């Protein structure tokens, strides 16, 4: 099997062997398949595109068509050990509610997203005067699905506000290598971030 994309590997590394995991926005199922095969994970997926769903099911994965914004509500509390949202949070209509639902349905949540404070992004906006287009943000402003972009510090602030505990945060450079630098600098040099979250008592319950 092909190696996982660097940011997906960082997500995978946070999942314990044999856990129950739901991958929201699982795309072609690469992460899910890796988790099932290599970590013995009881893995499920949710994907917006039916073509993606069919490809996953044809690969033997348990995947349904669904929308992170609306369909997490179906699941009971604590249905999973992990609910994963990789590179999708910024495309949801209500990221805060999605996060809340993830931490209701899962004991832990793993969220990865592109950092909007990554220095090339800042440069393009500040000096280029145009909406940034980078490798991880390749869309034009008028056709991007990314309607709720944030920086790493923004995300930390949201977690603090929601009373969500950050168990681990890994910031990745453009080569997918983890950066261990103070947050202010990591927020400048990091292209992606992967957060392992856990709800504090009482948070996330409706």
Partner 1 sequence: MDFADLTAAERQALQHCEHAILGRESPLRLDCGVELAGHRVAYKTWGTLNAARSNAVLICHALTLDQFVIGTHPVTGKPGWWDTLVGPGKVLDPARYFIVCANVLGGCMGSTGPQDRDPATGQAWNLRFPVVTIGDMVRAQAALLDHLGIPDLFCVIGGSMGGMQVLEWCASFPKRVFAAVPVACAARHSAQNIAFHEVGRQAVMADPDWREGDYRQHNTVPARGLAVARMTAHITYLSELALQRKFGRALQNRDAPGFGFDADFQVESYLRHQGATFVDRFDPNSYLYITRAMDYFDLAGAHGGTLANAFRGTHTRFCVMSFTSDWLFPTRESREIVHALNAVAANVSFVEIDSDKGHDAFLLDEPEMFRTLGGFLKGAAAARGLPEAG
- Which residues in this chain contact partner 1 in the complex, by CB under 8 A? 42, 44, 50, 53-54, 56-65, 71, 74-76, 79-80
- Give least dist CB 144 to partner 1, A: 27
- Please name the residue that has the structure tokens 């190696």: 3
Complex with partner 1: residue 180 or 206, whichever CB lies closer: 206
Complex with partner 1: residue 40 or 183, whichever CB lies closer: 40
- Give least dist CB 81 to partner 1, A: 11
Pairing of strands 20-24, 42-47: parallel
- Give least dist CB 60 to partner 1, A: 3
d(CA 193, CA 87): 10
Complex with partner 1: residue 22 or 159, whichever CB lies closer: 22
Tokens of 197: 């979250």
- Give least dist CB 42 to partner 1, A: 8
Name which of 198, 168, 165 is nearest 180 in CA terms.
Answer: 168
Name which of 123, 131, 160 is nearest 147 in CA terms.
Answer: 131
Contact criterion met (CB below 8 Å) for 32 and 23:
yes
Complex with partner 1: residue 105 or 171, whichever CB lies closer: 105
């Amino acid at each position: 099997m092909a190696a996982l994309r660097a940011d997906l590997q960082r997500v995978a590394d946070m999942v314990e062997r044999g856990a129950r995991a739901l991958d929201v926005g699982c795309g072609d199922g690469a992460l899910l398949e890796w988790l099932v095969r290599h970590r013995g994970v009881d893995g499920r997926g949710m994907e917006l595109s039916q073509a993606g769903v069919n490809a996953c099911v044809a690969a033997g994965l348990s995947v349904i068509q669904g929308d992170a914004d609306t369909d997490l509500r179906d699941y009971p509390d604590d249905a999973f050990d992990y609910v994963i949202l990789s590179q999708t949070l910024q495309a949801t209509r209500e990221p805060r509610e999605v996060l809340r639902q993830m931490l209701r349905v899962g004991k832990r949540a793993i969220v990865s997203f592109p950092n909007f404070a990554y220095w090339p992004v800042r440069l393009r906006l500040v000096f280029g005067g145009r909406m940034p287009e980078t490798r991880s943000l390749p869309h034009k402003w008028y056709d991007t699905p990314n309607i709720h972009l944030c920086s790493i510090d923004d995300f930390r602030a949201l977690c603090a506000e929601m009373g969500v505990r950050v168990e681990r945060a890994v910031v990745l450079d453009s080569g997918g290598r983890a950066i261990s630098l103070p947050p202010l600098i990591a927020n400048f040099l990091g292209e992606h971030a992967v957060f392992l979250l856990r709800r504090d008592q009482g948070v996330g319950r409706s």
